[in-house]
Amino acid sequence: MRILASIALTLAAPLALAGPQCTDTDPSEWQDQEAFQQNLKDQGYKINVFKVTDGNCYEIYGWNKAGQKVEIYFHPVTGEAVKTEIDD
């Protein structure tokens, strides 16, 4: 029984770490990546890492205007924050 439980946890672990699925919209309709980042910087964000995720989101690692460390997933068409993690 322990072996089955261990196998189930091992198989489920990657699913728990997966980011959100943002869109199936063609990338040609997404906001320009450089302009999107500049807009965030203009709002006071400091971006350490910017990337496009497997779930078709724009993701940043950095700091918000309050100086809090953040990881945020954005919808690349609307620019809405889909998931936000703040590390105080």
Element (H, E) at 81: strand 81-87
CB 20 within 8 Å of CB 75? no
Q: Flag whether 66 is in a domain.
A: yes
Residue 7 belongs to some domain of the structure: no
Q: Which residues contact 48 (CB under 8 A, 6 or more apart)?
A: 60, 61, 62, 63
pTM for the structure as a whole = 0.79
Residue 80 lies in a domain: yes
Residue 70 counted as domain residue: yes
Specify if 4 maps to a domain.
no
Give Cα 50 distance to the centre of its chain. 9
Does any domain span residue 13? no
- How many domains does one find in the chain? 1
- Identify the CATH number of the domain in which residue 50 sits: 3.10.450
| Tokens at 13, concatenated | 């672990």
Domain of 72, in residue numbers: 20-87
- How far apart, in whole angstroms, are the C-alpha atoms of residue 52 and residue 10? 26
Q: What is the CA radius of gyration of the chain?
A: 16
Is 74 part of a structural domain of the chain? yes
Domain membership of residue 40 (yes or no) is: yes
Return the sign of the alpha-carbon dihedral for residues 44, 53, 18, 20.
Answer: positive
Q: Give tens-digit pLDDT for 27-78.
A: 999 999 999 999 999 999 999 999 999 999 999 999 999 999 999 999 999 9
